[in-house]
Amino acid sequence: MNAPLHPFPRERGHIYAFLKDASQTAHVYLMTEIDASALKAARAAGGDRISYVSFIVKAAAAVISATPPARMVLKDGLFPKLASSPRLTAKVLFDKRIGTVRCVVSGTVADPDHARLEDIQAAIDLHKQAEVAPSGPFAALAKLHRLPLPLMRLVYNLVLGNPRKRADFQGNFSVTSVGQQDVSAILPMIAGTIGLGVGRIAEKAVVVDGAIVVRPVFTLSLTFDHRVLDGALAAEILASIKKSLENWRTEQ
């Protein structure tokens, strides 16, 4: 007996188009553990208004802004070119329901390297609270969903063929968090140059100054496009983000 076939959900069409595009990227993954003690103290001092994701966006933006090759966007083809973004954009992923279909959607934070933490959090909250509707921050996505899947893919590819628009819509870097579940790590796919994955914070025994202590720790992964960056530079970027997050109080 043949399995019944169902039409592909139009609400997930943007994910299908994204993954088709992302499958062409030469993904390489790096991982490190972050001691979140400084971030936890900084959040408590601010009344826990700022999410961990906002701290990560801000720290990553500072490092990437100061690393010109990490701001490059690849324009592939017979004669591939690298385009340098004049400004920085961060992409943050959100779990949404579009009608009855559950799927991931993305929102952007403009100029996170210059924005205050409060401004980054406000942009994240705006997208987190909004529905995918003809008005609001997801208006373009709602418009895209009105198209049949083949046309949706065509429009997606045409728009993102422009390196500046790719950076604007896909971000110079992305942040994906699974910290709300008991999941230790995620290795995100990317259609840009850099993507960060955030795991759940958990109490863990670590060695500090020769002594075993319990600290809040989470896994931070970095996915990078090897066509744009080499592993040594990507490792330096991840190490710099780690240093910024673990020394937040002294750096601020």
Q: Within its chain, how far is the Cα of 61 from the centroid?
A: 11
Mean pLDDT of 63-84: 91
pLDDT of residue 239: 98
Q: Has residue 2 been placed in a domain?
A: no
Q: Has residue 5 been placed in a domain?
A: no
- Domain range enclosing 139: 10-251
pLDDT over threshold 80, residue 197: yes
Q: What is the pTM of this model?
A: 0.93
Q: Has residue 1 been placed in a domain?
A: no
Q: What is the DSSP letter of 31?
A: E
Question: Is residue 166 a contact partner of residue 73, using CB atoms and an 8 Å limit?
Answer: yes
Question: Is residue 108 a contact partner of residue 90, using CB atoms and an 8 Å limit?
Answer: yes
What's the CATH code of the domain at 187? Answer: 3.30.559.10
Number of structural domains found in the chain: 1
pLDDT over threshold 80, residue 199: yes
CA dihedral 159, 54, 182, 10 (to 10 degrees): -20
Q: Has residue 124 been placed in a domain?
A: yes
As a whole-number percent, the residues of the chain with pLDDT over 90 amount to: 72
Separation CA 229–CA 238 (nearest Å): 13
For the chain, first and last CA: distance in Å?
Answer: 64
pLDDT digit string (tens) for 16-73? 999 988 888 899 999 999 999 999 999 998 888 999 999 999 999 999 999 999 999 8
Separation CA 57–CA 89 (nearest Å): 10
Separation CA 85–CA 167 (nearest Å): 7
Q: Has residue 85 been placed in a domain?
A: yes
Q: Has residue 221 been placed in a domain?
A: yes
As a whole-number percent, the residues of the chain with pLDDT over 70 amount to: 98
pLDDT digit string (tens) for 115-142? 999 999 999 999 999 999 999 999 999 9
pLDDT of residue 59: 98
As to burial, measured by CB atoms within 10 angstroms (0-12 exposed, 13-18 middle, 19+ buried), residue 216 is: middle
Of 132, 158, 131, 153, the closest CA to residue 143 belongs to: 132
pLDDT digit string (tens) for 157-173? 888 888 888 888 888 99
Separation CA 87–CA 176 (nearest Å): 21
Question: Is residue 93 a contact partner of residue 104, using CB atoms and an 8 Å limit?
Answer: yes
